[in-house]
């Protein structure tokens, strides 16, 4: 195959790939939203793109479809440039993505939410899709707490506290972007944001917005970020996604 990216192939390429056993399409559900003073608004879409590509390469019989680049980001609207679509509209987009892919005969879709605000919508969409297409496999890694648990355990090994590793634009995400898109990270503007307890404030963040607890938009501390850790973080995240793919699906 010339590329694993659907967009870069011709229709005969796609037809040939499917004949060759490619039966899976992977895509990320990202965001266009503020990520502190040092990271680009595309941060979650870029991370999602990397996750989708790594997942497709590990899977071997998969293509990568375009990342959904705007997600549910109402809680970041206090920061200039953030864009958002509402959950029902995102769900419609995701179902249409799947519908068109299934029409061509793909058997499995893997959705990768790479922005915290999309996890619940993707989980709900996956449930709806399993009912709608019982003969297809719809995979989605949507356990945000499990992801944070794995992320914090890894960053602790590097001497980074959970507060610094963070849940938004902190050490975890900044290290990933430093490894994949260093030209888009301005470490001279990396700052400390809110580094307190996260789990308790998440409902408040979703309801009242991030700016209330973090004026610079960071939930974590970006200063200790290091690109050498980014690849390991991505790989651990892909492990979680692959485990989800390999898990036998419960009947819808
Ligand atoms: Zn992010």
Cα of 136 vs centre of ligand 1, distance in Å, is 30
Quote the CA–CA distance of 241 and 212 in Å, as a whole number: 32
Residues with CB under 5 A from ligand 1 (ion): 43-44, 173
Separation of CA 36 and ligand 1 centre (Å): 10
Ligand 1 centroid, distance to 91 Cα (angstroms): 20
**CATH architecture classification, 6-246:** 3-Layer(aba) Sandwich (3.40)
What b/e string do you get for 10-43 counting C-beta neighbours within 10 Å, with b at 16 or more?
eeeebeebbeeebbbbbbbbbbbbbbbbbbbbbb
Q: In angstroms, what is the span from residue 157 Cα to ligand 1's centroid?
A: 22
d(CA 93, ligand 1 centre) in Å: 21
pLDDT digits (tens, 9 = 90+) for 215-251: 999 999 999 999 999 999 999 999 999 999 998 665 4
* Rounded CA separation 229/151 (Å): 11
- For position 251, what pLDDT does the model report? 44
119 CA → ligand 1 middle, Å: 12
- The order of strands in the sheet holding 62-64 is 62-64, 24-29, 108-113, 137-140
Arithmetic mean of pLDDT, 170-177: 98
Strands (E), 69-175: 108-113, 137-140
The pLDDT score that the predictor gives to residue 149 is 95
51-54 long-range Cβ contacts below 8 angstroms, 24+ apart: 51/112, 51/114, 51/234, 51/237, 51/238, 51/241, 52/26, 52/27, 52/28, 52/110, 52/112, 53/4, 53/5, 54/234, 54/235, 54/238
Determine the distance separating the centroid of ligand 1 and the alpha carbon of 43, expressed in angstroms: 6
What SS3 class is residue 148? helix
C-alpha 25 to ligand 1 mean position (Å): 23
Tell me how far apart the alpha carbons of residues 191 and 172 are, in angstroms, rounded to a whole number: 13
> Does pTM surpass 0.85?
yes
For ligand 1, the distance from its centroid to the CA atom of residue 45, given in whole angstroms, is 8
Please tell me the distance between residue 191's alpha carbon and the centre of ligand 1 in angstroms: 15
Mean pLDDT, rounded, for 194-218: 91
């Amino acid at each position: 195959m010339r590329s694993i990216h659907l967009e870069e192939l011709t229709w005969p390429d796609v037809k040939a790939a499917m004949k060759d056993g490619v039966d899976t399409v992977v895509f990320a559900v990202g965001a266009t939203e503020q990520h502190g003073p040092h990271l680009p608004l595309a941060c979650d879409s870029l991370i999602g793109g990397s996750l989708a590509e790594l997942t497709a390469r590990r899977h071997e019989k998969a293509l990568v479809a375009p990342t959904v680049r705007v997600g549910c980001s109402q809680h970041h609207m206090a920061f200039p440039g953030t864009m958002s679509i509402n959950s029902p509209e995102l769900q419609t987009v995701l179902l249409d993505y799947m519908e068109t892919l299934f029409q061509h005969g793909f058997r499995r879709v893997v959705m990768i939410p790479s922005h915290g605000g999309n996890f619940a919508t993707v989980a709900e969409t996956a449930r709806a899709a399993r009912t709608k297409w019982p003969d297809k496999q719809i995979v989605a890694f949507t356990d945000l707490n499990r992801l944070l648990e794995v992320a914090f355990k890894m960053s602790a090994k590097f001497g980074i506290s959970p507060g610094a590793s963070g849940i938004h634009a902190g050490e975890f995400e900044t290290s990933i972007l430093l490894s994949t898109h260093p030209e888009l990270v301005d470490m001279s503007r990396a700052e400390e944001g809110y580094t307190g307890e996260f789990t308790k404030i998440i409902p408040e963040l979703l309801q009242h917005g991030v700016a209330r607890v973090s004026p610079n938009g960071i939930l974590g501390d970006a200063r200790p970020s290091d690109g050498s850790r980014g690849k390991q973080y991505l790989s651990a995240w892909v492990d979680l996604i692959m485990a989800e793919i390999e898990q036998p699906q419960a009947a819808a």
